[in-house]
Amino acid sequence: QSALTQPASVSGSPGQSITISCTGTSNDVGGYKYVSWYQQHPGKAPKLMIYDVNNRPSGVSSRFSGSKSGNTASLTISGLQAEDEADYFCSSYTSTTARVVFGGGTKLTVL
């Protein structure tokens, strides 16, 4: 069982917006800015999409945005495109063990 909770799957049609949640505790997501989101296509290495809750690395589309409320972080993808179909993982620093923890991952299907 992962330390951070994500929905197993989400889906949306091209052009729509979807949001993936990542729920933790005050010892991780709720207590620190160190929340990141990764995209992973089958057989490929993960790609950083969001870091420190709501920052986009250079080169990442502005269609991807991050936010946090209490102990839950969210990744929103607007204007869904077929290429967005992938697995998405959140991660956070946790003070419980001074480590990084990942969510179990969410499979995004573009209908």
Task: Confirm or reject binding of residue 93 to another protein (CB under 8 A).
Answer: yes
Does 7 help bind another protein (rule: CB under 8 A)? no
Q: CA of 65: how far to CAs of 27, 31, 94, 96, 103, in Å?
A: 23, 20, 22, 27, 18
47 scored as a contact of another protein (CB under 8 A): yes
The only residue of 7, 12, 30, 46 in contact with another protein, by rule CB under 8 A: 46
Strand partners for 87: 40, 107
By CB under 8 A, tell whether 82 contacts another protein: no
Residue 4 to residues 43, 60, 110: CA-CA distances in angstroms? Answer: 23, 24, 24
Q: Does 64 bind another protein (CB under 8 A)?
A: no
**Residue of 19, 25, 31, 48 interacting with another protein (CB under 8 A):** 48
* Token pair recorded at residue 18: 């979807």
Residue 32 interacts with another protein (CB under 8 A): yes or no: yes
